[in-house]
Amino acid sequence: MKRDFDVIVIGSGVAGAIAAYRLAKLNARVLILEAGNHNPSRAQMVGGYATATLPKSLHSPYVQITSDKDAPSPDSSINYYDTPDGFVRFRSTYERRTGGATWHWLGHTPRMLRSDFKMKSTYGGGPDFPDGFVDWPISYDDLEPWYCEAEAELGVAGSDAEWQNLFHSPRSKPFPMSMIWPSYSDRWIAGQINDKKFEGSVYRVLSTPSARNSTLYDGRPPCAGNSICVPLCPIGAKYDGAVHVAKAVEKGATLWEQTVVTRLEKDKDSSVHKVEFATYGDLNKKNRRASPVTAEVVIIAANAIETPKLLLISELANKSGKVGFYLMDHLSKSTYGKASEPLFPFRGPPSTSGIESFRDGEFRREYAGFRLSLNNDGWGRKGSPYADIVDLVTNERRIGMELQQALFDRIGRQLRLSCSVEVAPDPANRVELSTMKDALGVFRPKVTFAAPQYSLKGLAHATSTMKNMFEILGEKSPDLGEVGAFDGAGHIMGTCRMGDDASKSVVDANCCSHDHHNLFLLGAAVFPSCGSPNPTLTIAALALRGADHIAKHLGLKTMQVV
């Protein structure tokens, strides 16, 4: 039977866009369905950001009244998540726009480590080790060539010398671009802290690999230090998913925006070919088909909340009963202090270096590993410099040159350190369907999340590490926030985990549903565990690997992994 398309990709974030591009490049007939709308020009978005009320939200450049109402996301509507009683609202959010949440990501692209893929077999067995951990059905070595591909596709800048073989995780290819230069602050901190020890690890400041141009690459300029990467790169030096959406369309993919998938239907043989959708807003429906639309292969790449939500609504892919389970999001915490010398914050990307030393080790039998970031944005998250100006004038009664000097004295030495702590997979953390619906009549997600003890212990260690760092840097009483308190990292993972055992997982090692041979899930939803790195590079690598598998499934000539 001839289907409308060879492939339907649901979701135009980085995973969906990359897969759509790769398949369109092989002449597959690809349809991308995006719930949100495209963004206006970068200049307009910068203008929106500039005049947005402080504190400026992640969503401030992306406000669109119609899409915010009809394809709501937690970025656009505070009450989008349904939160069960007794739980705090899930802290991480995402955008429903063409290109997805990479519009407002920071851009960091560290890889997962070798042991991150094999947590159970490497560190399991002890009394403190969470039961939810499983090994991935693939290894670091299986994914490594795809990491290299992903770095080339996104355009990653990094230091080969610093990152070769970190924690036994070798690189088979150089970074596509040389590193984003560490800031003055990073270099000063490295001079103070490198080679000192804490809790069995040695501090070493490394530049952070980033999907941010350090040279002209892919028709985009090098970073010029606009400093508002989160929530928007004004010049396109930072990668966002819209890059691959454009490439996919240029290769012949069809893109339907303002198109919310409402249900997938399975055939008698359990294959899933039919996609039902609703549209909204002022839409040119010329050349569009009416709902439903069909394809040989369906890919859901709608992030780790919308993907399980759609599966649950459609009652698909859930023989294991695990759809929605094992929601993960790194625990993020910022700590604040002042260095003993001026560091000149508010310049360059918000973070250019980090400390990877605490990501791995025997301690992971008992508590979570973590990444540390050195940040270049001072105390901006606490209202600097606005709050400082108000305080200095109102309480210290300073004006004129005296105010200028005092302002610099206050702000010049400001430093924010932050951590991103691995979250252990816990079946109690999950995405389910709310009883409440959105404006289009689609069920909203009910999101339950509480930090596992294993990760809270890791957070405590991360906090004391940051305290130790501040001491070395000249700050004896840093602001460490409340004990046990954390923010969301925006790294939403784990709700449709990958595994060999169909009774305990949702997709196989190729991201194919165990229950439906032509249904694929791409994105962080498939992560069985998450380590501590930002997930986007791993998402991209899995998407490339998955697209390659799908191409074979469709009988297309596949691309060689270089």
Binding site for another protein (CB under 8 A): 43, 46-47, 49-55, 178-179, 181-184, 187, 214-219, 221-228, 234-235, 342, 344-349, 352, 376, 383, 385-387, 389-391, 393-394, 397, 399-405, 407-409, 411-412
List all residues 6 or more positions away from 163 whose beta carbon is below 8 Å from its beta carbon.
171, 175, 206, 209
Nearer to another protein, 96 or 338 (CB): 338
Q: Minimal CA–CA distance to 203: which of 453, 479, 477, 471? A: 471
Helix (H) or strand (E) holding 472: helix 453-473
Selecting among 104, 491, 514, 516, the annotated active-site residue is 491
Nearer to another protein, 283 or 407 (CB): 407
Nearer to another protein, 101 or 406 (CB): 406
Nearer to another protein, 73 or 214 (CB): 214
Q: Are 193 and 203 in contact (CB under 8 A)?
A: yes
- For the chain, the farthest-separated pair of C-alpha atoms sits apart, in whole angstroms, at 78
- What backbone torsions phi and psi does residue 331 show, to the nearest 5 degrees? -80, 125
Nearer to another protein, 43 or 562 (CB): 43
DSSP E strand stretches across 356-500: 370-375, 414-421, 430-437, 443-448, 487-488
Closest approach of another protein to the CB of residue 188, in Å: 10
Nearer to another protein, 53 or 284 (CB): 53
Is 330 tagged catalytic?
A: no
- What backbone torsions phi and psi does residue 344 show, to the nearest 5 degrees? 60, 65
Distance CA 105, CA 184 (A): 23
Closest approach of another protein to the CB of residue 352, in Å: 7
* Beta strands at 177-178 and 197-198: parallel, antiparallel or unpaired: unpaired
CA dihedral 95, 98, 101, 103 (to 10 degrees): -110
Rg, the chain, Cα only:
23
List all residues 6 or more positions away from 422 whose beta carbon is below 8 Å from its beta carbon.
330, 368, 369, 370, 455, 458, 529, 530, 531, 532
Peptide bond into 385 cis (omega under 30): yes
Catalytic residues: 491
